[in-house]
Amino acid sequence: MEFFRDTNIDFLGKKWYFLGFSLIFSIAGLLSMFFWHGIPLGVEFRGGTLVYVRFVDKPNEDQIRQALDRAGIHNAQIQHYGPSSSNDELIDLPQSSNAGADVTRSEDQIIRALEAISGGQQDFRKDLNYAGSDALRTVLAVRDPLHAAPDTYDKITRQILDYRDSKQGGLIRSFDDLQKAGVPAAAVEALKQDGFFISNFHVFGQETVGPQIGAQLRKQALLATLYSMAGMLIYLWFRFEMIYGVAAVVACFHDTLITVGAFSLTNNPITLTVIAAILTLVGYSMNDTIVVFDRIRENVKLMRRETLAEVVNRSINQTLSRTILTSGLTFLTVLSLYLFGGEVLHGFSLALVIGILIGTYSSIAVAAPMLVAYQEWRASRSGRRPVPVATQAGKGKVRVKA
């Protein structure tokens, strides 16, 4: 089977289309960053509190909002989390203004407010859908309903938590269910007597970030992106020629800009893992560019009679099959990540899905034409017509000279 055979597409002839396409997307992204959504930042960069809650039934967001209001939390955003069939909600509380205080206080407030909806003002530490192993074990050991050795209660505690967390996704629905799952009736009774109850929700994740961490991480992410581009530039400079490095880095910058722009347009938050994905894309996009550049370097030696434009065109065509295939395959894996990887990886895989498409496009449509454009600009500046590329055969480096 073969998809591409002896293709001969004039890529460089379409450079104005490419430029137009890139400009449209870059500018749309930039406009959104400056005038519409801004750059939506994940909680680790902007600071604040996120609480992930799973409910037994379809939750009523208005009811949650009112309960939080009553608890004195007024600026929380409540939104559905995950696929529409799930009963998960994300409560998002922006940075509190009193920066001096401990940042982790508001989580407890949120949980108390939710307990209030679930049924009265109970102590959430006695909520079986919240309690930790220590609390359960201690109560069982002290009440000793089975008149057994303490390690029996260790086992029962593990059994309860295993049932809750591994089998039920964090939610026990009733004491009867516990008994059906094999927990001894006497133990269930002892928990009930100690005041344990079952709420209709389960907090499956929390994230709180204080202002100084946010600032720190923002700086780190920016530095990491810059360093990685600089690293690439230096490597390419060393392996090829300055202009190759510059062209490749411009292509990467183009990819980063469009990916971030897409996040801004769709109002998806940029989190730490998204930054990781973007850095991976920088590497990946560089891969594609290098494959084309390697071919150019090789062909420059072979095709001495032709102009650089022709050499570049030929090189892109020769590597087209490989470029499309590997991008397609990587895209396949990333798509699988996007579709099946779950909500936690949503932003990460989205960045990869967008980035791999753009990264493949940019090595053909941005990096290579730039190389030729630079060449022609040099030629026109020195007042001479572009002449075939002079090479010093035998030397590893290719001198791109006008």
Partner 1 sequence: MQKNLILKTLFIIGILLIFVFGIFGIPGSFNLDGIKDSLLQRIHLGLDLKGGAHLILEVQVNEAVGGETDHAAELLKEQLQKSNISYASIGKPDPDKHPEQIVVKGVPPNGSTELRRIVSEQLPTYDLSGSGDTYTVTLKASAISELKNRTVEQSVEAISQRVNTLGVSEPVIEEHGVGNYQILVQLPGVDDLARVKEIIQSTARLELREALNHGATYPDEQSARAAQPGGVLPPDTVLLHGQKSVNDRTDSVFLVSRVPVVSGTDIKTAEAGHGGKTGGPIVNFYLTTSAGEKFARFTAAHSETSANPSNLAIVLDNQVIEAPSIQSEIHDSGIIEGGFTEQTAHDLALKLRSGALPASLRYIQETTVGPSLGADSIRKGVQAAVVGMVAVMVFMLFYYKGAGINADLALFLNLVILLGFMGFTGATLTLPGIAGVILTVGMGVDSNVLIFERIREELRHGKAPAAAVDQGFARAWITIIDTHVTTIVSAFILFIFGTGPVKGFAVTLTFGLLANLFTAVFVSRVIFDAILSRKQRGEALSI
Residues 218-277 binding partner 1 (CB under 8 A) are 220-221, 223-224, 227-228, 231-232, 235, 239, 272-273, 275-276
Cβ density class 42-75: b for 16+ within 10 Å, e for less: bbbbbbbbbbbbbbbeebeeeebbebbeebebee
Closest CB to partner 1 among residues 15, 346: 346
Alpha helices, H only, 168-307: 175-180, 185-193, 211-239, 242-265, 272-302
Contact letters (x/-) for partner 1, 36-75, by CB under 8 A? --------x-------x-x---------------------
Phi first, then psi: what are they for 90, rounded to 5°?
A: -115, 120
Question: Cβ distance 57 to 200 under 8 Å?
Answer: yes
Sites for partner 1 among residues 274-303 (CB under 8 A): 275-276, 279-280, 282-284, 286-287, 290-291, 294, 298
Stretch in the footprint of partner 1 (CB under 8 A) among 13-21, 258-266, 331-339, 373-381: 331-339
Does 103 bind partner 1 (CB under 8 A)? Our answer is yes
Stretch in the footprint of partner 1 (CB under 8 A) among 182-190, 322-330, 359-367, 375-383: 322-330
Count residues near partner 1 (CB under 8 A): 85
Q: How far is the CB of 330 from partner 1 (least distance, A)?
A: 3
Sites for partner 1 among residues 131-160 (CB under 8 A): 131-135, 138
Between CA 402 and CA 389 the distance in angstroms is 7
Reported residue count of the chain is: 402
Closest CB to partner 1 among residues 298, 310: 298
Q: Which of 363, 222, 389 is nearest to 311 (CA)?
A: 389
Sites for partner 1 among residues 8-37 (CB under 8 A): none
Does 357 bind partner 1 (CB under 8 A)? Our answer is no
Q: Is 379 exposed, middle or buried (0-12, 13-18, 19+ CB in 10 A)?
A: middle
Does 325 bind partner 1 (CB under 8 A)? Our answer is yes
Sites for partner 1 among residues 177-196 (CB under 8 A): none
**Strand-strand pairing, 48-55 and 77-80:** unpaired
